[in-house]
Structure formats: structure tokens, C-alpha cells
């Protein structure tokens, strides 16, 4: 071995990371954890689980313009709109005076994929270094990221979180199928609140795995909501995970659609969880990577898909439209995009648009953070192919970024809704004509005299 090689091997690896406060398990009794708001109902259930486990956690609801301004101050506007929103929400909350920075920490999830979302934490730490250098950031992830500041998880907690996502998805589907049709204002909201309370009791009593009892209870509660039989325009929402779900990120898109007299159809969060699991399996299949972890992710996926199918059957039995079966989503993806395309939300976006069209929701808002290249390619870039496959699919891609005004975003969606209503009228007229022809064919013809 040469002297040069010996010298290079003995040299320590340079650590170019900036110094930052580490999050530790010991902070459980001393720090309040702030969580950005992406899915209010889902995250509310999850945070109740963490509180029962002894954590002091709070879901942030601040969404004034100051949140975006703080994000712009600390994150370059070309980086990623969700990163800007999350960072701005954290800094705005810390500046509100409600929290003691010396006893506050921030909690964020990471998928571990190639998306810039995996780099949110360095961006947040950079902002904190300028304003609140003593505040640590904890990462909740399953990819082995941030080993020195990871949120501690054991198998029992992971199972609890998985069931919480299933219940949140079922609750979201039931609410969206009742809210547009409720005859008594607030009845669907009251049903949702009652279901959240029932789920919370099940967790406190250790009965959270009794999914049949819990889901049947939710179905019965929403079935009791008085609803009109009016047929309304259904609008699917797909896109990058944050702007797809977050009221802050998508300018309260679901509320806008409800105000326009539409039924929002939002795919479940568990789809994204299973998408991440399947991608790890595909890494071993396509790229011969991480074969050991791929086996574990494969087992997890089979269990999650098994549970999803059971819960979907309960929803269908109660008279409600079930969520998409994930294996159906994978088959839909194969019609448009290879499952090896997994940057960002990758193949999941066109898969959801195809599945929506096949299940009767032809009008779709594809929510895109401006500058999110993977989602523009997999989302907007797949629209032409989808329209060739489903000729009546009516898709609008809407960009969300700090400079995009809510009025412009809503006007683009209103144009899509105008087309949707025209298509609905034409379809109704065609169905009436077909029914009249069918009746005419059944009438007995007069015999010749």
C-alpha cells in the first residue's frame, strides 16, 4: 500500500454540517412539539395518540399572510412552495409569543425520497439559526434520516399511527360524501366531530384495532345525516402531497369546491404511505438496491393493503363509495407511467387521475407547487396521455406559489367547473334520450289489419 493511500485512509471524514441543537428523547418532559398543519383531521387523531403517550404536541393553525411572508424571508421562492409554507408557519408561530423558544421543538415528517421535501429540515434549521437558534427540529421518518434528531418510534406506536391514517381516510371520504348534500347545516361536521371523539375513546381504551366496530360506527353516524338526492359535480383533487391536502398550501381548495356546489373527492393519505412502501420494493426489483429492507417493506405493504381492502368493504356495505384499492392504482399507473418513476409523488399522480376517471370522477384539479419539477412531469406531463385514455376527463393543473393569487387560481378552477356542468347536462340529455328510445322499443307495435 502506498504512503499516499495510507494517509488518505487515515484522514477523518470532514463534517461540513452546521452546528444545530439536537432533539433527544429527554425533551419529552421539557419541550412542546409544534406540528405543521397538512391534514387537520388526520393529524388531530395522530396528535391525540402522541399526547396519550406523554408528548406535549400542538397542531399549528396560523395561516395569515404573515406565514407566507416569513417563508419568503427565509426560503428562496424557487425552492419549493410547501417548504416555504412549513418554514413560514413554524417561524410565524414562534414569533407569536405563545411559545417559550427554550422549551419548544419542531416536528416534521420526511419520506426519504428524492423530493426536496427530504431537505426541509436543513431549510428549517437555517431559518431557526437566524431567529431562534436554540429550537431543535425532530424528524419523523422510516428512512433512517436524521439519526441524531429522529423522533423515537417503536412498533406499537407505528401500528397505532397506521390505524389512525386508515380512520382519518375513512372519515374524510364519509364527510366529503355527506357535506355537499346535507339538509341540516352543520350535520356533517357534527358527525365528523362525534367520530373523532369515538376514535379517541377507542385509543384511550386500547381498542383501536377493532376496526370493524369503529368503521361501522362511523358509517352509521354519517348514514344518519339527512341528505338530498341532488346530483352534484364531483371533483377529484390530486397532486403534490402538501398542496393536495393542506388548506394553507392549496388556498382552502376543498372549502372552495363545497361553496361552488361540488363534491370533493380526495384520495386517502394511506395511498401515499403504500406508495412509499412499494417504491422500496421496486428499488430492489429495478435497481437491486436495499434487498433486506425491501423484504420488510413488502411485508408492511401486504398488511396495509389487506387492511385497506377490509375497510373499503365496510364503507361499500354501508352505501358509501370506498377509497381506491391500491392494487387498482398500480394497474392504472401502468397504463400511463412506469412504477420506476418515483421522484416526488411520481407515478401516484397519474394513477390517481386514471382511477378517478374509472370510478366516475372525471373532473380533476391537479394541484402543483410552482417549481416542483417531479410533479410537473408526472402530473401535468401525463395529462395528454390520460385524455387519450379517458376522452371525457376534464383536468386543470393549478400552480400554487407565493406570487399566485387566490382569485386567479379559483378562476382557473371555475373554468373547469363550467365545462364540467356542460358535460353533465349533455350526459343527462343523452341518458334521457336513450331511456325514451328504450321505452319506445318496448311498446307493442300495432298489427296490420
CA atoms within 13 Å, Cβ hemisphere of 156: 5
Query: Is 53 or 77 the better-scoring residue by pLDDT?
Result: 53
Q: Give the residue ranges of DSSP H helices in 11-148.
A: 40-52, 65-74, 81-95, 120-131
From first CA to last CA, the distance across the chain in angstroms is: 113
For the chain, what is the mean pLDDT? 89
* pLDDT for position 116: 61
* pLDDT for position 148: 74
Residue carrying the nine cell digits 395518540: 49
- Mean pLDDT, residues 376-394 taken together: 91
Residue 45's nearest CA partner among 202, 182, 175 is 202
pLDDT score of 39 more than 60: yes
* pLDDT for position 110: 80
| Band of residue 255 on the pLDDT scale cut at 50, 70, 90 | very high
Residue carrying the nine cell digits 391536502: 245
* pLDDT for position 45: 96
Buried b (16+ CB within 10 A) or exposed e, 349-379: bbbbbbbbbbbebbbbbbbbbbbbebbbbbb
* pLDDT for position 438: 76
Question: Which residues, other chains included, contact 130 with Cβ-Cβ below 8 Å and sequence gap of 6+?
Answer: 74
Tens digit of each residue's pLDDT (9 = 90 or more) over 427-437:
877 777 777 77
Three cell numbers written together for 338: 412506469
Q: Give the residue ranges of DSSP H helices in 132-207.
A: 155-178, 187-204
* pLDDT for position 266: 97
40 vs 60, 169, 196, 448, CA distance in Å?
Answer: 9, 12, 11, 71
User: What is the C-alpha separation between 353 and 372, in angstroms, rounded?
Assistant: 18
- Mean pLDDT, residues 222-248 taken together: 94
* pLDDT for position 29: 87
- Domains of the chain by range and CATH? 25-153 (3.40.50), 232-267+324-432 (3.40.50)
Question: Which residues, other chains included, contact 329 with Cβ-Cβ below 8 Å and sequence gap of 6+?
Answer: 271, 348, 351, 352, 355
> Cβ distance 136 to 22 under 8 Å?
yes
DSSP run (H or E) holding 313: helix 291-317
The DSSP-derived string for 225-269 is S-B-----EEEEEEESHHHHH-TTTTTSHHHHHHHTTEEEE---H
User: What is the C-alpha separation between 341 and 354, in angstroms, rounded?
Assistant: 16
> Cβ distance 236 to 367 under 8 Å?
no
pLDDT score of 448 more than 80: no
Q: In what order do the strands lie in the sheet with 394-400?
A: 262-265, 233-239, 363-369, 394-400
* pLDDT for position 446: 52
Residue carrying the nine cell digits 341518458: 431
51 vs 55, 154, 197, 204, 212, CA distance in Å?
Answer: 5, 15, 15, 11, 25
pLDDT score of 243 more than 80: yes
Query: Is 377 or 419 the better-scoring residue by pLDDT?
Result: 419
| Band of residue 342 on the pLDDT scale cut at 50, 70, 90 | confident
User: What is the C-alpha separation between 353 and 363, in angstroms, rounded?
Assistant: 9
pLDDT score of 3 more than 60: no
Tens digit of each residue's pLDDT (9 = 90 or more) over 109-152:
887 666 666 678 888 999 999 999 999 999 887 766 777 777 88
Tens digit of each residue's pLDDT (9 = 90 or more) over 72-108:
999 887 788 898 999 999 999 999 999 999 999 999 9
| Band of residue 449 on the pLDDT scale cut at 50, 70, 90 | very low
pLDDT score of 282 more than 70: yes
* pLDDT for position 113: 66
pLDDT score of 175 more than 50: yes
Amino acid at each position: 500500500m502506498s504512503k499516499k493511500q495510507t494517509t488518505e485512509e487515515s484522514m477523518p471524514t470532514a463534517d461540513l454540517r452546521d452546528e444545530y441543537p439536537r432533539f433527544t428523547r429527554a425533551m419529552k418532559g421539557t419541550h412542546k412539539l409544534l406540528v405543521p398543519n397538512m391534514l387537520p383531521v388526520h393529524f388531530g387523531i395522530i396528535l391525540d395518540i402522541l399526547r396519550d403517550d406523554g408528548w406535549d404536541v400542538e397542531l399549528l393553525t396560523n395561516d395569515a399572510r404573515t406565514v407566507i411572508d416569513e417563508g419568503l424571508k427565509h426560503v428562496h421562492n424557487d425552492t419549493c412552495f410547501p417548504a416555504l409554507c412549513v418554514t413560514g408557519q413554524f417561524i410565524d408561530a414562534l414569533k407569536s409569543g405563545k411559545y417559550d423558544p427554550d422549551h419548544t421543538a419542531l416536528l416534521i415528517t420526511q419520506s426519504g425520497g428524492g423530493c426536496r421535501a427530504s431537505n426541509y429540515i436543513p431549510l428549517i434549521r437555517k431559518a431557526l439559526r437566524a431567529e431562534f437558534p436554540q429550537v431543535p427540529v425532530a424528524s419523523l421518518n422510516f428512512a433512517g434520516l436524521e439519526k441524531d434528531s429522529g423522533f423515537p418510534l417503536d412498533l406499537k406506536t407505528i401500528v397505532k399511527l397506521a390505524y389512525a391514517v386508515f380512520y382519518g381516510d375513512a372519515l374524510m371520504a364519509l364527510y366529503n360524501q355527506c357535506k355537499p348534500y346535507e339538509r341540516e347545516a352543520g350535520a356533517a361536521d357534527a358527525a365528523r366531530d362525534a367520530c373523532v371523539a369515538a376514535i379517541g375513546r377507542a385509543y384511550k381504551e386500547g381498542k383501536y384495532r377493532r376496526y370493524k366496530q369503529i368503521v361501522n360506527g362511523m358509517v352509521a353516524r354519517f348514514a344518519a345525516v339527512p341528505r338530498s338526492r341532488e346530483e352534484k359535480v364531483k371533483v377529484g383533487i390530486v397532486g403534490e402531497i402538501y398542496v393536495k391536502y393542506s388548506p394553507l398550501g392549496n388556498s382552502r381548495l376543498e372549502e372552495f369546491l363545497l361553496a361552488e356546489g361540488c363534491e370533493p373527492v380526495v384520495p386517502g393519505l394511506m395511498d401515499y404511505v403504500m406508495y412509499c412502501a412499494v417504491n422500496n420494493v421496486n428499488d430492489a426489483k429495478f435497481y437491486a438496491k436495499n434487498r433486506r429492507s425491501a423484504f420488510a417493506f413488502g411485508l408492511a405493504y401486504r398488511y396495509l393493503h389487506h387492511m385497506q381492502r377490509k375497510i373499503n368493504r365496510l364503507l361499500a356495505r354501508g352505501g358509501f363509495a370506498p377509497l381506491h384499492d391500491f392494487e387498482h392504482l398500480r394497474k392504472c399507473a401502468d397504463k400511463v407511467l412506469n412504477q420506476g418513476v418515483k421522484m416526488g409523488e411520481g407515478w401516484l399522480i397519474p394513477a390517481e387521475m386514471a382511477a378517478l376517471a374509472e370510478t366516475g370522477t372525471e373532473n380533476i384539479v391537479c394541484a402543483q407547487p410552482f417549481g416542483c419539477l417531479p410533479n410537473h412531469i408526472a402530473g401535468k406531463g401525463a395529462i395528454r396521455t390520460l385524455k387519450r385514455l379517458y376522452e371525457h376527463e376534464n383536468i386543470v393543473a393549478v400552480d400554487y406559489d407565493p406570487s399566485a393569487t387566490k382569485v386567479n387560481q379559483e378562476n382557473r378552477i371555475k373554468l373547469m367547473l363550467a365545462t364540467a356542468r356542460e358535460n353533465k347536462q349533455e350526459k343527462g340529455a343523452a341518458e334521457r334520450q336513450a331511456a325514451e328510445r328504450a321505452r319506445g322499443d318496448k311498446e307493442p307495435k300495432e298489427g296490420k289489419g
